[in-house]
């Protein structure tokens, strides 16, 4: 992808690795787990480093971002409002017309299969040229 922001020539993947290590707590472990699930669901996914420090995943368009806050790891799906969410994973940014997010907190367990299904659905939506 063209517009990735890198620092000192580092790849987006190495910057994401560094963020995970820098966090050094449950947020880093959660972000690493989410990242692994995204890569399992979409082996061809492209990692980017956007907006001075936000891991972002693309395949035929933006899939999602992985932001870290003091009390949550927020995974925001770029076109989440257009996705079916039969497992009810979306629990944040529910009022918007386009995005939807999942806030993971310290003791939350990730439903790996449901999350990967949502990732695949986001990629399928992108591939269909963003049809709503």
pLDDT tens track for 58-88:
999 999 999 999 999 999 999 999 999 999 9
* 4: in domain: no
Residue 3 lies in a domain: no
Give a yes or no: residue 113 inside a domain.
yes
pLDDT-based confidence at residue 10 (cuts at 50, 70, 90)? confident
CB 67 within 8 A of CB 99: no
Range in 3-12, 14-23, 49-58 with the lowest mean pLDDT? 3-12
Look up the domain containing 40 and give its range: 12-127
Rounded to whole angstroms, how far apart are CA atoms 8 and 23?
Answer: 20
Q: What is the CATH number of the domain that holds 93?
A: 3.90.1150.200
Domain count, the chain: 1
Q: Is the Cβ–Cβ distance between 121 and 114 less than 8 Å?
A: no
pLDDT of 37: 98
Classify residue 81: in a domain, yes or no: yes
Q: Could you tell me the CA-to-CA distances from 13 to 5, 27, 54, 90 in Å, in that order?
A: 11, 17, 11, 26
């Amino acid at each position: 992808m063209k517009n990735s922001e890198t620092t000192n020539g580092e790849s987006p993947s190495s910057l994401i690795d560094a963020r995970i290590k820098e966090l050094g707590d449950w947020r880093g472990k959660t972000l690493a787990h989410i990242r692994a699930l995204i890569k399992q669901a979409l082996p061809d996914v492209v990692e980017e480093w956007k907006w001075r420090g936000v891991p972002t995943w693309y395949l035929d368009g933006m899939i999602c971002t992985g932001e870290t806050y003091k009390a949550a790891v927020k995974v925001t799906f770029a076109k989440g409002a257009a996705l079916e969410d039969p497992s009810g994973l979306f629990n944040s940014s529910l009022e918007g017309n386009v995005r939807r997010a999942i806030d993971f907190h310290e003791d939350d367990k990730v439903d790996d299969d449901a999350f990967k299904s949502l990732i695949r659905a986001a990629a399928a939506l992108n591939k269909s040229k963003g049809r709503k």
